Amino acid sequence: MDLDYRASLERRRADRRPAGWLDVRTLLKHFALITYALPKARLEPHLPADRFEIPEFTVGGQRLALMSAVPFLDADFHFPRLLPFLKLGFGQTNYRVYVIDRRTGEHAVWFFGTTLGSAVVHVARGAWGIPWHPARYAIECAYAARRYTAYRYSVASAWGEARIDLEDTGAPLREAEGFASLAELQFILTHPVDGYFYRADGRVGTYSVWHDLLPLTVGRPRTLYFGLYERLGLLSREEMQRPHSVLLCPETEFHVFLPPRLAG
């Protein structure tokens, strides 16, 4: 099974298509993957169960689903073919659940939505109905000697406010509970390439990304709060302080294949 995950991961890494006219490339900095384990029943009302299965993993002796909050700084968000010289920088946080597409059998992510600290959010919402929401970001991150000495985000948003303060152990990612191998962990948790979401019109939309393996270190929470997850009844404030895992990456390149399309 480990060989299967390794082969699938390599296929994803090899699928680096040429940039289309509306594709985006961006250097992500101060990237964190903050993952929570929780009962699947809490998540099921929030996504189309006829299309997506929510896989469960053995964590703390229970079979639990996984979801994450993913904050980062877009350092040079740009359209390399359409407007190559216009580069934007802003904070972003993705809120997502790990799922399996019942039609293809592929592991993917379901997006509750995203907050962005840029006017780009209004363009994307208007043109594609994508669930992006405006926010104001204050980011305080310092990186030296291969670890963060400070990692703090404060996000003001009516849709999804957040407060994030993390410690970086500097230890490289080797394993995480619920996964039998590093390859399985990377394939499912750190390297999903297809995302799905409810559009503004209620239909399911999708888009894909490409990125290489992430150089991750293991972090620990100092303070975590995600207003969206409290509002949806997915996590209590106390539960937010006990994530399944915290992973940190100083920078990585992402290629986003746009525009989003209706899911087939």
Average pLDDT, the chain: 95
Question: Is the pLDDT score of 1 beyond 60?
Answer: no
pTM of the predicted structure, to 2 decimals:
0.96
With contact defined as beta carbons under 8 Å apart, do 95 and 228 qualify? yes
CATH class of 2-262: mainly beta
CA distances from 24 to 87, 167, 213 (A): 10, 31, 19
Whether pLDDT at 2 is above 70 = no
Q: For 160-206, write each residue's pLDDT tens digit.
A: 999 999 999 999 999 999 999 999 999 999 999 999 999 999 999 99
pLDDT confidence bin for 151, thresholds 50/70/90: very high
Look at residue 28 and give its three-state secondary structure. strand
Mean pLDDT, range 244-262, rounded to an integer: 97
3-state secondary structure of 7: helix
Distances (CA, A) of 200 to 113, 129, 132: 11, 5, 10
Q: Could you read off the pLDDT of 53-78 as tens digits, one per residue?
A: 999 999 999 999 999 999 999 999 99
